[in-house]
Structure 1
Amino acid sequence: MAEEPRCPASSDRELGMDAKISRRDFFDGVAATAVAGAAVTALAGCAPGGDRPWAASPASPVAVPDGADYPPELTGLRGNTPQALSIPHAIRDNRLGSVTNTASVEDTGEHYDLVVVGAGISGLASAYFYRKRNPGAKVLILDNHDEFGGHARRNEFHPEGRDQVLIGYGGTQAIDTPSVYSTEAKGLLTDLGIDLKKFEKYFDQKFYDKFKLAEEGDTVFFRYEDFGRDHLAVRSKDMSTEDWLADAPLTDEGRADLVTLLDKPEDWMPGLSDDEKKTRLAETTYTDYLRDIAGMGEEAVNFCRSLTSDEWAVPAADWSALDAWADGYPGFDGLNLDDSTAHRLNAFSVQRFWGHEDPYIYHFPDGNASIARLLVHRLIPNSVPGKDTLDMDSVVLAEFDYTELDKPDNDVRLRLASPCTNLQHDGSPDAADRVLVTYHSTDGKLHRATATHVVMAAWHVMGQFLMTELPSTQRIAMKDASKQPLIYANVVVKNWQPWVELGMRHIRFSSGDWAVAQLDYPVSLGGYKHPQDPDEPIIIQMIGVPSPEGMAPAKAAIAARHNILHIPFEGYERSIRQTLNRALGDGGFDAKRDIEAITVNRWGHGYAREYARPFDRFWPDGPTPAETARRKLGRIAIANSDAAPNAYTDTAIDQAHRAVGELLDS
């Protein structure tokens, strides 16, 4: 019998790279660069075999299909596209020229009570809270993307074999742990017509059992790059760890390590008190704990390296062992730690979620894009023709008219693809009665409006460049807010029989381009129906966490961002096809035959960075960079989840509420 190849490589033709699918309606335009070719080769993991140099295909004009002016329907490369980042990067690199030179800026003559920079949930909520206190206020919202919602991004598809649109989420997944939401955040959801109890019915909680699909966390793909052979381990109910790992590509020592780690962890820190153990764990990464304290070999370490990736957007080598214990990752039961409350050195999110075990069911088909859409409709009622009111049910299938967002007669105007370039008071920040707001318009020119108040709800890494009046300490603090990069890919397949055949719904990969792949959540509401028949098309969501190991998360984020922003769509596509073929092949999956559409939501600026030990020595005693960065300056207040910093929807809402209060109560 021939030895199994280490790398199950396939040619481009075998992978279906030449197949006609919905994938290149929005091309990123950088594929021809040499740097892109190098980056994509690294992404795919295997040397490309095939019929064309997929990593460096030339960018070419692509015909725009019907409906391509409706952002949710655009496929291919989305999220932080080069188009959305071109002006911000020009500002960062000082290539835009002097944005304060009045000779180069056209004055629009517009004055608003409020200008909001950033149309994510924090920015939209800022406009909502401001208008709630000032119902007649005139508001302008600016954003550099061609879509509103920030990371709360909606993806739509129209696959063959399905009469109804197929809806996916390209970013923020869910209303996570609503029991911890503040009064203000809960109140906003109520104002928008969101009744959380309805999700108990809308999320089909019997779906996975009906098809005998393994629990999340019970399917791991051992990659040949880590273990010498590809292997999909699916753990069915009542299966022992030994049986689960029986065929895995492990040595006897590696298998014994994992059985000990998962089933019989010891007290590897004898003689220390509870607080002494937790303090030491806080100063140790999870990987170092496994290797240096628990004495695990490299196979066990490799098995655990991606456990933290999906939740925190960093690998195990960049997450503290204390927070790994709090999250329930393996290896800590033998320490007999007191879990009645969080430790002061736990990360902020870990502490605030402690003791709250909300089910993960509060999910719209488009994730929290529905919250953004409800906010836009409250602000601009004519954004959905013929709909005076929307609620959690009617918003799901509502089609927004983007031509209505920036009409002169609107009390609130939402101006997309219009990045702000400068915010400056008309005089001293302490005495000025207005703010000059400069932005880059779709006509390629700089324009200026004025505002009585401004909420800067964009990324803080941009705030340092937009607000040149800031004191140096505040600009440095904004620079610290380096978001963790993420890739959210939605892959439409003709059917999900391979998942049923293999008995799983979620795959964690031991390493590589993708941390997880999973079937779309089974949510049906407002006339929208989640696929119920395994022969129907469905969305497979894949999440990539590109931050490398071995450096502080903030520095790792910068390195990863520089890499992924030079990868063309074709690189992501090839990696997706190869990864799914390798993981699902035994279930009968064939990427060339089965994939109908791909949308890659690339978030170079993804999760707001979580303060955590051992890298953030100031945590938890402070002061934190976020506290400095969010200080109000004259008529400008600061929002965005960076101001917490904490990458959750309720945080974005809370920061918006605080910012508006600072403007109106001072």
Structure 2
Amino acid sequence: MSDQRRRPRHSDSELGMDRRISRRDFFDGASAAAVGGIAAAALAGCAPGDRDWAASPAHPASAASGADYPPGMEGLRGNTQQALSIPHSIRDGRLGSVVNTTRVNDLDEHYDLVVVGSGISGLSAAHFYKKKHPEAKILILDNHDEFGGHARRNEFRPEGREQVLIGYGGTQAIDTPSAYSETAMGLLKELGIEVDRFKDFFDQKFYDKWKLAEEGDTVFLRAEEFQTDHLAVRAKGMSVREWLAGAPLSPESVDQIAALYGDSGDDPMPGLSAQEKQERLSRISYTDYLRDVLGCNDQVVAFMETITSDEWAVPASSWGAIDAWGEGLPGFAGIGLDDSEASEYNCYSLRRFWKFDDPYIHHFPDGNASIARLLVHSLIPGSVPDADELDMESVVLAEFDYSKLDEEGQDVRLRLQSPCTGLAHDGSPSSAERVFVTYHRDGGLHRVTAGHVVMAAWHVMGKYLMQELPSAQRRAMTDASKQPLVYANVVVRNWQPWVELGMRHIRFTGGDWAVAQLDYPVSMGGYEHPEDPSEPIIIQMISAPSPGDMSLRQGAVHARHELLRRPFESFERSIRQTLNRALGDGGFDAARDIEAITVNRWGHGYAREYTRRWDSFWPNGPTPAEAARKRLGRITIANSDAAPNAYTDTAIDQAHRAVEELDEL
């Protein structure tokens, strides 16, 4: 591809920043006191037209109501300021200053089970409990205005397309279903999900039809790292040298990258046994390996820095070399390690997926939000009017009525915009008959009682919500610092530039975005993926903002603080600038072509992996997660943090374990 001899600079007008797209999250920059008073009642500015949203009988949040429907809200979504305002005030010891009154309103509501958190783990816990106790009364609380946790659905209605356009704002897919436990796969089957059917729903000939390069074979070298912008697209059959022809790389750098991607090479660690090699790789980062072991220069290191960002939410300078080897990243062809088995030092995900090689096709149009939606409908059948049953196809276009989630008299109630503020037994945890559950809503504090509680929220909040926890367990929960992520869905009027450039996925060598890619080609349940390049489509952009050369936990904390202060306008400008630079040679014009943007900002994203590079206790343990998930009286602990492992089946398995532990009472 031709390169531009500088980093192009576009004015806001040239980028289309003056176009009518939802500009900002209403609460960005708002004081905590202001947020506390209105957080549960308003979401102004989160939807097109700056409309307010409130789930109440007077304002039914159904698909028919357009902007009042959470999946249809554009702008800044995910962990919004209003969703985080109360949890942050609890963390900072200032809850009393942001609520209307510190007096707790005791409601006349008792539940057999209260679940804190309506992500897939929380919803699964309610499902498993209801299966064991069909007559049970269950309340599910969540601080967000939407259920599903990271399994988030984004909907758009672009010009030129009669049907809604559906994207995912978090959890992508049923990853490697062959590795699912009997429990996790059993739940999917109970919900009507037959994973083998995705072979028909996912158009596996789509990319070849349009001659789009394989994932990982397109890299955008930014001027910030390489002095000149350059898009390198590796078509099928192209050598590394052909791929990088014209790139702003020295001949030495091209030689080194070609050697990295080669099928053979000299042993970079001569004289060491296999065990010694693994031990050394476990102590260094992938960047350390490239630079210090293979002798790669700074250009090559910069070229490879983001290769781990999409998969693991951290750059190569923070990701362990042993796990880079385990993932099959470039540079290990000559090392001579037996890859028939995982290394004992590999992270948990690599070890459990080692012998499985499922195609990455098990994807609903909204990612795993469809799993969450099926769970909600199974628990609250009235959530989809006139739909007695839903299956994996009918759920895709099902219209949920959010006003039906928390109706008096139904067995299961899902109370959104209701962050839990405290869990305490009525007496000693060892002998109490019930648990007091306090939460915030409509500016005040309310309390219900429960026979059992499953705490399926982020573990970092556990130590604040459960003051009865032993100090060691509180410290263990603090360790569960999730990796920040941003999933942006950008609706464009057509995808002709991608066809012109011959690619479907771009990795960026730095900046705000790790990757940009065309939406996965999935058609099912009456939903049709765009088939012609002239049609509107979603471009998915993923950001992994954790800086390099830090431990996963330190990097997450650093990035989260920056991320949660960033307004939507800043994200939008970055998206427009980035796509203009990367797609400009294909005829892309952000001001003309971008129709809508939803930014799903996950300050608390992936449950982090334990890696030998940063966690001395791994793999022999004991681990902080083991201590954090211990039952406390009538309260058990779920969430993928309890593994920790950022996969849907893990969330389901941890929910099942938490419910089973309640039988120990």
TM over 0.5: yes
Secondary structure at 1:68 match in 2: helix
Preserved CA contact (<8 Å) 1:99 1:105: no
Shift of residue 323, structure 1, vs aligned partner:
0.5
Confirm or deny: 8 A CA contact 1:25 1:68 kept in the other structure. Answer: no
Give the share of equivalent positions with the same residue, in percent. Answer: 69
- 1:499 is paired with a residue whose SS is helix
**Residue 282 of structure 2: aligned partner:** 282
Aligned equivalent of 1:62: 50
Hey, what does 1:52 align to over in structure 2? none
- Counterpart CA distance in 1 for 2:99 and 2:510 is 47
> AA paired with 1:290?
L
SS at match of 2:317: helix
User: Which amino acid in structure 2 is aligned with residue 299 of structure 1?
Assistant: Q
**Counterpart code for 2:295:** G
Q: Is the 1:31–1:568 contact (alpha carbons within 8 Å) kept by the matching residues of 2?
A: no
Tell me which residue corresponds to 2:588: 589
Q: Alpha carbons of 1:99 and 1:191: their partners in 2 closer, same or farther (altered >3 Å)?
A: farther
Question: Given the alignment of the two structures, is residue 161 of structure 1 paired with residue 149 of structure 2, yes or no?
Answer: no
1:451 maps to what in 2?
450
Aligned-residue offset at 1:271:
1.0
| Counterpart Cα distance in 2 of 1:448 and 1:64 | 27
Q: Which amino acid aligns with 1:84?
A: A
CA RMSD of aligned residues (A): 2.0
- Structure 2 distance, partners of 1:103, 1:382, is 35
- The CA deviation at 1:31 is 8.6
2:431 counterpart residue number: 431
Shift of 1:102: 11
SS in structure 1 at match of 2:144: coil
Using the TM superposition, name which of 259-268 and 570-579 deviates more.
259-268
Question: 1:15 is matched with which residue?
Answer: 15
One-letter amino acid of the counterpart of residue 581, structure 1: N
Give the secondary-structure state (helix, strand or coil) at the position aligned to 2:111.
strand
* Residue matched to 2:137: 138
* Counterpart residue type for residue 93 of structure 1: D
Compute the displacement of 1:104 (Å): 1.0
- Equivalent positions of 1:107-506 (< 5 A) are 107-263=106-262, 264-441=264-441, 443-506=442-505
Counterpart-to-counterpart distance in 2, 1:594 and 1:32? 36
How far off its partner does 1:62 sit?
3.0
Aligned residue-pair number = 638
Kept in 1: contact 2:5–2:229 (CA 8 A):
no
Deviation at 1:186, TM superposition (A): 0.4
Q: What is aligned with 1:551?
A: 550
Secondary structure of 2:66 counterpart: coil
d(CA) in 2 for partners of 1:477 and 1:121? 22
- 1:342-363 deviations in whole A, cap 9, x for unaligned? 1111101110000100000000
Per-residue CA deviation, residues 121-141 of structure 1 (Å, 9 max, x unaligned), is 000000000000000100000
Contact 1:346 1:613 in 2 (8 A): yes
The match for 1:647 is: 646
Q: CA separation of 1:424/1:89 partners in 2, compared to 1, >3 Å: closer, same or farther?
A: same
Q: 1:563 is matched by which residue type in structure 2?
A: E
Structure 2: unaligned runs, 5 residues or longer: 33-44, 54-64
Cα deviation, residue 236, structure 1: 0.6
Contact 1:99 1:422 in 2 (8 A): no
Aligned equivalent of 1:618: 617
Distance in 2 of aligned mates of 1:109 and 1:605: 33
**C-alpha distance in 2, partners of 1:127/1:311?**
30
Contact residue 28 and residue 565 of structure 2 kept, 8 A: no
Give the 3-state SS of the residue equivalent to 1:128 in structure 2: helix
Aligned residues of 2:25 and 2:80 also touching (Cα < 8 A) = no
2:335 corresponds to which letter in structure 1?
L
User: TM-score if structure 2 supplies the norm length?
Assistant: 0.94
**Structure 1 pair 14–528 and aligned structure 2 pair: CA distance change class (3 A):** same
- In the TM superposition, residue 260 of structure 1 has moved relative to its aligned partner by 1.4
Q: Separation in 1 of the partners of 2:114 and 2:569?
A: 38
Tell me, in whole angstroms, the C-alpha distance in 2 between the residues paired with 1:14 and 1:577. 10
* CA contact 2:24–2:569 (8 Å) conserved in 1: no
The separation in 1 between residues aligned to 2:598 and 2:301, in whole angstroms, is 32
Task: Name the CA shift for 1:381/1:63 in 2 (closer, same or farther; >3 Å).
Answer: closer
**1:71 aligns to what?**
70
Inter-partner Cα distance in structure 1 for 2:387 and 2:406:
18
Question: Structure 1's 660 and 32: CA in aligned 2 closer, same or farther, altered over 3 A?
Answer: closer
Moved over 4 A (4+): 63-66, 98-103
Q: Counterparts of 2:49 and 2:212 in 1: how far apart (Å)?
A: 43
Q: Secondary structure at the match of 1:97?
A: helix
| Deviation readout 1:572-620 (Å, 9 max, x if unpaired) | 0000000000000000000000000000000000000100011000001
One-letter amino acid matched to 2:248: P
Residue equivalent to 1:38: none
CA offsets, 1:541-582, max 9 Å, x none?
000000001111101100000000000000000000000000
| Residues 134 and 254 of structure 1, relative CA distance in 2, 3 Å threshold | same
1:31/1:567 contact within 8 Å kept: no
CA displacement at 1:266 relative to structure 2: 2.8
Hey, what's the Cα distance between the residues in 2 that align with 1:14 and 1:63? 28
**What is the alpha-carbon distance in structure 2 between the residues aligned to residue 101 and residue 69 of structure 1?**
26
